[in-house]
Structure 1
């Protein structure tokens, strides 16, 4: 087993957006709350733990959420607030290490093998971070500690909310063998279904396969699954994650089939994209159109040019051209999105901000 001496912490804020809203609005506390729009075509961005008891989850249509919980409270999304709170959380992280890899506004990896406070045990750092987040920001975080990113991420989910879990190298094999295959990094619903057909349901089943067999069935991902099943993950905690794309999308109030209506909506999305590009300074040479239809199927169409897409006069004509390649006469459009990618100049100063029950005795690590 490799990298036993590394000390990695994964910190994950519990129900982050919803918790911020409950913190800032006392009338929401202890009640089922979602962040998002209650519009008939709205989507849940985040759900409080009180709401989750009703089966409500992020990305769920708002109408379905309201059916599950008729007295559900909706709070408007306030990204500028969440970004500001995230910056405060990262300031706490930096008291201990500068080797921080943000995964989103509400979670990050920290490499504390060598840390600013000289602590021997990573769990002591994790406990102090959790305490500081609670005392200074009045929010709750969960933390996972292990010798690699794969296990630290799993550990942070193990005792949520307000949990802390250490997976020591001596415990890793037993932990992984009992882990449901759906909990493995990179295993989505489609891959899990394929694995089930092959008799792979838990980590022990996956571990029994050879690397040749896994690569045969899952391509290059097979090697990663093999490594994870054996407790191996050599990926470093990356201090800088360069933004690879920037985009926006909108779910329409009504499904549309008229070309004139589609172009109007495309104009609004393109205008928002131009605004975000201006704020971020991102320079992408590939423009991608995303269309989701009434039946929830979706397609993308892309075009690449030598110069970056930055101005409306650059983006809108090409977006219209991509839209003209889409047949939506018999399958109305539900959502339109635009994004730019394939950076012309990658800047190293822009971090990307884009989520079993076993009785283990935590060993010091």
Structure 2
């Protein structure tokens, strides 16, 4: 399957028809345990669903194919995936370096969950290779990249940071949730591990929660696999099946998300009520040249804007649109708007990642772009 194009693999990798009935779509294995042919006589290697389930295996094979990895692991949520990976990589006294604009939940996980355990955390401007190099410590074990970042859409040169990480003996992890493997291939750019909240674009329909780790290193894969089994935060079979269903249309959805987001970014750029537009595909965006090289198919469906009228204007706009619904999360076919300072990034208030109240983050869906433009422009006119 590796010799086929992305869109083909998204539909077929790990998705062989059911050999018993010929069903084109593999069934959902809603079972907690499996009958054995005598003690230790496992049928297909299955004994208990926490250890392995055919539906989860099909998703994991698909994820590995799309990211160009050797192994993939599917978890109950994106943070569960991150937690298992970090516990495989760090111990008390180790240091994690991440960008100064990442998902608040990731920062919270290291700072408030692993921090009391003795793991150190610091941040740096990942758009500046010299700043990253200066922030590396002798005990740095993980360099955590999020590109495009959340919520300022900062773009990191993965190859440059991977080179710095390798020189320091650290594992370079890339959160590829915003870009997806259709738009960006971190492992091909030198990253060691890719993580996803599969809740977002991979699932794509706002109806399933999940996470994933994809990697090539066999030893690290064994450690992550052990933690997946031992701690048990696995994705359920129906969740895995829904995620596979979503991935089958990932290529066509991401094309539409990117087209719509670019049109809206261009329309809002220079608008009197908008102080700044953050979108990697917009000319003048910091890191746009790197984004064009790393994400040749498009810049994705996420953008943020800073309102000239400050937080009051941001809150009014967030509640005044019809198609852009006020909600957390992102990556579904429907358009959403979020006020990070009080919603997704509330946990980083008082830290270097604090988000100004004037900022709104848009998850641009795949509706008619004319309808979406009318919705946001009418909202701006009412400010």
**Do they fold alike, i.e. is TM over 0.5?**
no
Larger strand percent:
1
TM-score range, shorter chain: under 0.3
Q: TM-score, normalised by structure 2?
A: 0.23
